[in-house]
Structure 1
Amino acid sequence: MIDAQGRIMQKLKNMKALLCGYYGKGNGGDEALLVSLLQMLPEDIQPIVLSGNPQETRKLYNVESCPRTSTFAVWQAIQKSDFFIWGGGSLMQDATSIASPIYYAGLMALAQQQGLKTIAWAQGIGPLNKSFSKWMTRNVLQGCSAVSVRDRASAKLLADWQMSPIIAPDPVWALESIAVDDILLASDVPKIAVTLRSHPLLTTKRLNSIAAALKAFQEQTSTHILLIPFQPEQDLAIAKTLHQVLENQSQIISLKDPRKLKGLFENVAMTIGMRLHSLIMAAAENSRCFALSYDPKVSQLMAEYQIPGWELSDLPEDTAKITQTWIDNYTNPNPLETATIKSIKDRALIHREVLLNGLQN
C-alpha cells in the first residue's frame, strides 16, 4: 500500500525544477545554499540550475545547468520546467543595486506567467529601500505556492504585507559536511579561521588594524591562521595581504566544494568572520565565533545566536584592544552548546518540508 508520502513522490516523478540564485559566481555561501537545496529537493525532481558558470556547476554537482544571463537559454529552461525555486540567500535587496531585485523578480514573474509553481525558499528579504523594489517583491511573493525565510526581520517585513511565511534557520546549518584533515598544515597547532571580504566599510586603515591585531594575536596564542577566501574574486587579495603579514604562521585555503568548506571548520578553534555563511558553518561545526558585521544579515545572526563581535564601522582604532578581545574570546570559549546546534540543524530542515508542500500544492 502506497502511503501519502509515496503518492506525492510518484506524482512528482520526472518533473523539473528551475533553481534560481546567485550560483556559479564563486561565492562559497551561495554554493552552500545550492547544495543544501539539492540535498533537500525530492530525489524524483530533476533540477535545472541557472548559473554564472554552467560548465562548472554541471561538473561539481552533476546537474543540468544553463547560463543565467542568456535570455534564450533561460526561456528554454522555463518552458521545460514545472517549478521555479528561488534558492536561498539575500536575492531581493537593493542596498547595492536595483538590478538584483529586477532580475530575480522578473524571472519569477515570468515563471508564474507561464504557469510554473513558484517557491521562495530560505530567503533573506531586504534591505529594500526603493518603493519599486518593495512592490516587485510583494507581488511575486504573493504568487508563490510556498515561502520560507531565514530570519525574523524578513518574517516581520512579510507580515507587514499580510503574508505568513515559514521561518527557519538558514539551511546551511543542516548542510552535510565532508572532513578535510588532509589539506591542513601544522595539524597539531590550534587553528583560527579568518574570512574577510572586500567592502567599503573594510577600509585600508581598518584592514591594517585587523592585520596588526591578528599578528599580535597569533604571536600570543601560538595558533595557526587559516585565511579562507569564500569568494576569491573579492576575498583573495585580502587573504594575500594578511598572509604577507603573518608569513609562515598562516595559509590560504580555497575550496570549491561547500561540503568540504563546511567540514574545514570542524578543525577550527575560533573563527573571525565577515562572511555570513562562514559564521554559520563555523558555529554548526562547534567553532567559537567572532563576527565583524558589514550587513544587517550578519548583525541579525549575531543577535539571534549571541555571537560576539563588532559592527565593522565600530571597529576599535586601538589594535591592542582588538587583540585582547580576540584573546579573551579564544581563552574563554562560549560556543553554542551541542544540544543547541542540533536543535538549530533540525529546525533548518523545516525548509525541506516547505519545498515538499510547495511542490505538491
Structure 2
Amino acid sequence: MTRRWKVLLCGYYGMGNLGDELLAAATIRLLKNCGLKEREIAMLSGEPKKSVEQHRVYPIDRWSRRDVVRALRLSETLLLGGGGIFQDSSSFRSPWYYWTVVRLAKLCGCKTWAVGQSIGPLSRRINRLLAQDAFRSCEIVSVRDLHSQTFLNGQCLLSDDLALALPFGRESRRPEYFLVNFRRHDGELEYEAARAYARSSPAGKLKTVGVAMDKNDLQLMREIRERGVCGVDELIYPDAEQLSKLFSGAAGAFGMRLHFGVLSLKAGVPCTLIPYDSKVSDFAGRWGGTLWNGGGVLFPPPWQKRADLEAACAAIQSDFVLCFERAMRS
C-alpha cells in the first residue's frame, strides 16, 4: 500500500499550550531540514483547523479513532515529537492515549520513533509500564533530561529541548517590565511562589507582566491577582508571533514552565525557575540558570552558559538527523 505521509506527528498539539506549539514548529522545521516537504508531514491535533493555519501540514483530529487509524495506515512513521506526554500529574488518561496510538501504529505497520521526550512524573505503576512499553516499540528515542534517560536505563540519546533550535530575533529595547509565569501544580507551590514574588524587589520596582503559556495558566494568574496574592499589572496569553517583542522588553523573569525558561534563555533574559518538575531543574542546571529555593525572589543573574546556544542548536540538528535516518531506514 502506498503511504501518503513520511511522518505523522503525535504530541500535545492543538491543545492551547504554547510550549507544545513551539515544539511542533521546531519538529517540522527539523524535518524540513532533513529534506521532507510539508505535504509529506501530517499532525494529530486537538484543533485541526488552527494547526493547519499555524504549521502548514496536514491536520488529523486526534480524538477521532477512525481518522487516527486511517492516518497511521497512510504514514510510514509515527513521530512522538517532543514534550512530556507520558506523565500522569495533569491527566491519568495521557499515558493511555499515547500508548494506544503507539500500539495502533504497530498494528498498522507504521514505525514509531521519539525525539525530545521528557518522561514523568508517573505516580502509578501501570503508567510507568505503559511508558516503558511504548518507548521499547520505538526505532530510536532521544530525551531532553537526565531523569528521562535514567528511566530508559540509558537506552536513548540525551539531547536538548527541540524548541532551542527555533530562530529567535531579539529586538533592541530598553527593559521595561518583569515577566512571571505560574502554572497549576499542587495548589501550594504556585501560591507560595506568587507570595514570594509579591514581597520581592522586582515587584516593587518594575511593572509585572504575567505570561500564560496555556489557558490554565491564564485562569490561575487571574485567581492570584483577584485574591490579592500577587499584583500582576498585565496578563498576556501570547501567540508565537508576539514572543520576540514580549521577551525583548523584559528585565528579568520568574516562572514555572520549562518553555518559559527556554524563551528566557533564547532572549537572554535573566530568569529564576521554580523547580516543580525534574525537567525544569535539569534545564536550569544544563544552562547555568537560577532555581528558586523557596525564599525571597531577587533579580536573577544572567544565564551562565548562554554562549553554548549555537553549539547546542547544531547538536540538536545533528541528533535529529541521526534519529530521522534510523527511523527511515529501519
Q: What TM-score, normalized by structure 2, do the two folds share?
A: 0.86
2:104 aligned with 1:101, yes or no? no
Matched residue SS, 2:298: helix
Query: Counterpart of 1:272?
Result: 254
Corresponding residue to 1:55 among 49, 62, 69: 49
Amino acid across the alignment from 1:60: Q
Quick one: distance in 2 between partners of 1:131 and 1:236?
A: 32
Separation in structure 1 between the aligned mates of residue 163 and residue 242 of structure 2, nearest angstrom = 13
Aligned length, in residue pairs: 321
Task: Specify every segment of 5 or more residues in structure 2 that has no aligned partner in the other structure, as ranges.
Answer: none
**Does residue 41 in structure 1 map to residue 23 in structure 2?**
no
| Alignment partner, residue 169 of structure 1 | 160
Deviations 1:168-223 (A, max 9, x none): 11111111235678xxxxx6443321111122244685266145225x5333x3x3
Supply the AA of the counterpart residue of 2:239.
K
Structure 2 SS opposite 1:293: coil
What's the secondary structure of 1:278's corresponding residue? helix
Corresponding residue for residue 230 of structure 1: 213
Taking a change above 3 Å as real, the CA distance of residues 196 and 48 of structure 1, as seen in their structure-2 partners, is: same
Q: What is the alpha-carbon root mean square deviation over aligned residues?
A: 2.7
> What percentage of residue pairs aligned between the two structures are identical?
26
Give the TM-score normalised by the residue count of structure 1. 0.79
What is the rounded CA distance, in whole Å, between the counterparts of 2:265 and 2:141 in structure 1? 26
Query: For structure 1, which runs of at least 5 residues remain unmatched after alignment?
Result: 1-12, 182-186, 317-321
Q: Report the counterpart of residue 326 of structure 1 in structure 2.
A: 298
For 1:278 and 1:158, the matched residues in 2 are separated by 26
2:289 paired with 1:307: yes
Q: Contact 2:168–2:266 at 8 Å: present in 1 too?
A: no
Give the 3-state SS of the residue equivalent to 1:326 in structure 2: coil
Q: Aligned-pair distance for 1:117?
A: 1.5
Larger Rg computed on CA atoms: 1
How far is 1:336 from its partner? 3.0
1:95 Cα deviation after fit: 3.4
Note closer, same or farther for the CA distance 1:104–1:277 as it changes in structure 2 (3 Å cut). same
**Code of the aligned partner of 2:303:** P
**Given the alignment of the two structures, is residue 192 of structure 1 paired with residue 164 of structure 2, yes or no?**
no
The Cα shift of 1:291 comes to 0.9
> Are residues 260 and 217 of structure 1, via their aligned partners in 2, closer, same or farther at CA, if it must alter by over 3 Å?
closer
Assess, with a 3 A threshold, how the Cα gap between structure 1 residues 179 and 243 changes in structure 2: closer, same or farther. Answer: farther
8 Å contact kept, 2:287–2:305: no
Q: Is the 8 A contact 1:177 1:260 kept in 2?
A: no
Query: CA 1:240/1:265 → structure 2, altered by over 3 Å: closer, same or farther?
Result: same
Q: Which residue of 1 aligns with 2:16?
A: 26
Partner of 1:10: none
The structure in which a higher percent of residues are helix is: 1
